[in-house]
Amino acid sequence: MSLQYSKLTPETPPAAEFPPPGTPDIEIARSVQPQSILLLAQQRFGLPGESLVPFGHYKAKLDMAYVDTSDTASRGKLVLVTAITPTPAGEGKTTTSVGLNDGFNRLGVRSSVCLREPSLGPCFGMKGGAAGGGRAQVIPMEDINLHFNGDFHAITTAHNLLASLIDNHIHWGNEAGLDPRYVNWRRVMDLTDRSLRNMVCGLGGAAHGVPRETGFDITVSSEIMAILCLADGRADLKQRLGNIIVGRRSDMTPVTVRDLGVEGALTVLLKEALQPNLVQSLEHNPVFIHGGPFANIAHGCNSVTATRAALALNDVVVTEAGFGADLGAEKFIDIKCRHTGLRPDAAVVVCTIRALKMQGGVPRSQLSSPDLAALREGAANLERHIRNLQQFGLTPVVCINRFPDDTEDELALVQSISEELGVRAVSADHWATGGEGATELAQAVLDQMDEGTPEVKFLYEDSLPLADKIRTIATRIYHAGSVEFSTAAKKQLEEYESLGFGHLPVCIAKTQYSFSADSSVKGAPSGHTLPVREVRLAAGAGFVVAVCGDIMTMPGLPRRPAALDIALDEDGLVVGLT
């Protein structure tokens, strides 16, 4: 039976108005006049103006009271977009998610895309921006990349309010009996600053608090970020915030936010942040952007609230999971789907010819030259990701995100390798031509969904011990030969299970650049050892984080940060965001 969906009569996007190829992304974004967000919501979803809280003319928050997300309401199909292991050559997962959504709408399918919010850390550090690229972008691009609608500030403030309340509680008598040596709640900021990773607070004498070791993480790794993204409404948000364990007493019993009585104050700070944000693509198609946990140090998915809202308002919803499928897609299924009952109806794995050649050992300076041998070797990385998704019960569609210098022989080789694995590979040109370049990809995904609803399977059962859950991910997804737990990690795992948290899923924090914990190892390595140096309990979010190798929850800036290229021009316009 063919997928049934509401046929739209989409307007013809203003393709002729786009600047020529090679134009910076920010100039392409500015070349399109956005539609009123209130008008877009009314035309596409039938939502009244009062259902939105506008932040200017082109972005708004959606009041969930106007959206029926009950179990009896109709629900669209969910398409998960993931990718091969990232490289400096670029894969274009967000660009593909936006282009695929535009492609669905070009076919007349009522569709929206759900993305995560960019963090200021990478914007001024490694990337320079994260709203898609070329002709597959989300607008207003500068606003989305810089502060947006204040969600990250609310999360940062709530997190640091809790840190302040903890130290204040200890200062004024410590009724809860918190042992300062065992306070595990650090502070956060939405920037990268390696010098703040470890520090001592409370110095200066008794009037200034109790000295103790602490430090800063980046906001996207905050447990409050994860809670906001996994919470199913205000009541669940408050319950999860109350469950956060902030430290231990001297007898090692846990102290929670609920013990301190401050979950209400944290909920108040997050009241507006819990509402999903609505913006649009260059082709005036609806885009939900909400929440922003990184997949290398957190669970890497946009909010449950935004996903449920989009599914209630559309026939098809595209969503992405961060970094490669070994991180984002695994966490999407084993954490987000496990917690919520959501299931993907289809999956797309994004790759580029350039990235696959880099996985095969070609240096970045030579990626424009054809090299079928290196491409075939690097395609082992794509094959690993495809087989991993098949373990979850998904038959993905491979999207070859096309670059101008890709040859027909190279494209044919990737398509042939994919077909040998029983999946279809489609070349897409959305970066250069927008939704028009992704209609074949969109049709391939519709065809895949026509074949029936996949039986999505988790990688492990809740009852499996925490250490065995980590081993299962390491051996079945990363193809590691063994897992090496530090003495501290072993002790932490034993403690969390004794406290009754052994049933929780695990979230692996490790480098995104390799299946191993060594970022320099490309391709599809096997037999390596996954070193787990520490384990953190996120009782409010509902998972346990295994920190592996040298991954940092407060990244540092690169030698030449993107901030050096970002500025205002003489007309007051932002330049340098990419």
d(CA 176, CA 170): 8
Active-site residue among 403, 485, 501, 543? 403
Cα 6 to the chain's mean position, in Å?
A: 29
> How far is the CA of 291 from the CAs of 3, 124, 275, in angstroms?
30, 19, 10
Q: Is 431 a catalytic residue?
A: yes
Write down the H helix ranges in 137-190.
Answer: 141-145, 151-171
Closest CA to 532 of 468, 462, 460: 468
Please pick, among 23, 30, 127, 343, the residue that the annotation labels catalytic.
127
What are the tokens at 396?
Answer: 């993905």
Catalytic entry in 75, 77, 106, 116: 116
Catalytic residue among 93, 106, 187, 248, which? 93
Confirm or deny that 92 is annotated as ligand binding. yes
Is 172 assigned a catalytic role? no
Distances (CA, A) of 52 to 314, 371, 486: 17, 51, 50
C-alpha R_g of the chain:
23
Active-site entry in 69, 82, 95, 433: 95
Distance CA 115, CA 113 (A): 6
Q: Which of 136, 295, 467, 541 is catalytic?
A: 295
Rounded to whole angstroms, the Cα distance separating 397 from 299 reads 23
End-to-end Cα, the chain, rounded Å: 42
Q: Are 106 and 436 in contact (CB under 8 A)?
A: yes
Is 295 marked active-site? yes
Q: Check 124, 152, 294, 323 and give the catalytic one.
A: 323
The tokens describing 460, both together, are 């492990």
Annotated catalytic residue 116 = yes
β-bridge pairing 529-538 and 245-248: unpaired
Is residue 340 a contact partner of residue 389, using CB atoms and an 8 Å limit?
A: no
Q: Cα separation of 96 and 148, whole Å?
A: 22
Active site residue 403: yes
Both tokens assigned to 343 = 């299931």
Query: Are the C-beta atoms of 551 and 513 separated by less than 8 Å?
Result: no
Q: How far apart are CA 438 and CA 444, in angstroms?
A: 10
Question: Active site includes 469?
Answer: no
Rounded CA-CA distance 103/100 in Å is 5
Amino acid at 503: H
The verdict on whether residue 452 carries a ligand-binding annotation is no
Q: 93 a known binding residue?
A: yes
Q: Report whether 294 contacts 229 (CB < 8 A).
A: no
Known binder of ligand: residue 94? yes
Which residues are CB-neighbours of 488 under 8 A, at least 6 positions away?
533, 534
Beta-sheet strands, E only, within 293-374: 316-320, 346-351
Please give the annotated binding residues for ATP, written as ranges. Answer: 87-94
- Give me the active site residues, please: 93, 95, 116, 127, 295, 323, 403, 431
Please give the annotated binding residues, written as ranges. Answer: 87-94
